[in-house]
Amino acid sequence: MNWLTALLILTVSVIGMEAFAWIVHKFIMHGRLGWRWHESHHIETKGPFEKNDLYTICFSFIAATLFIIGSMGHPVIWMVALGLTVYGVLYGIVHDGLVHRRWPVYIRTPNGYLKRLVQAHRLHHAVHTREGAVSYGFLYAQDIRKLKAQLKKTHTPKDSMQNGNHD
């Protein structure tokens, strides 16, 4: 496989993971099936870990399995596994580091893409129940004004944290 094809597969895999993560986040994590683990992420927990971290373990097993299959003569599958892994690293840096500040260093988010991403995810956490959240993506965020309007339509102040500033 040439490097251009490999790069294309890697890029499509990372972008595809954002779409896959959005679907899993909205319909499994916020659904009946996955809320038991994900709820820990919407309430304050003590300690460095929460039940929601089990999703990371599950996804890492999927990536590891794809690496094993890919190493048996399937380079496309190996590149897909690398795309999943790159997405996981980006998720860890952006979601766990920037948004939730689970890392020991604080990174200021200037105006622009990263600030919008942090704001959108905080609006997602303004809702502490399975239903009614906004912004299910991890690396893409809609316009903040649209998300606030959507949240305002579906929730009263008692349903959500003020201004979506929950970490």
The domain locations on the chain are: 3-99, 113-164
- Give the integer Cα–Cα distance in Å for 148 and 126: 10
pLDDT tens track for 14-67: 999 999 999 999 999 999 999 999 999 988 888 888 999 999 999 999 999 999
- Per-residue pLDDT tens over the stretch 157-167: 544 444 444 43
Residues 6+ apart with CB under 8 A from 28: 34
**What sections of the chain are H helices per DSSP?**
3-23, 35-42, 54-70, 75-91, 113-124, 144-154
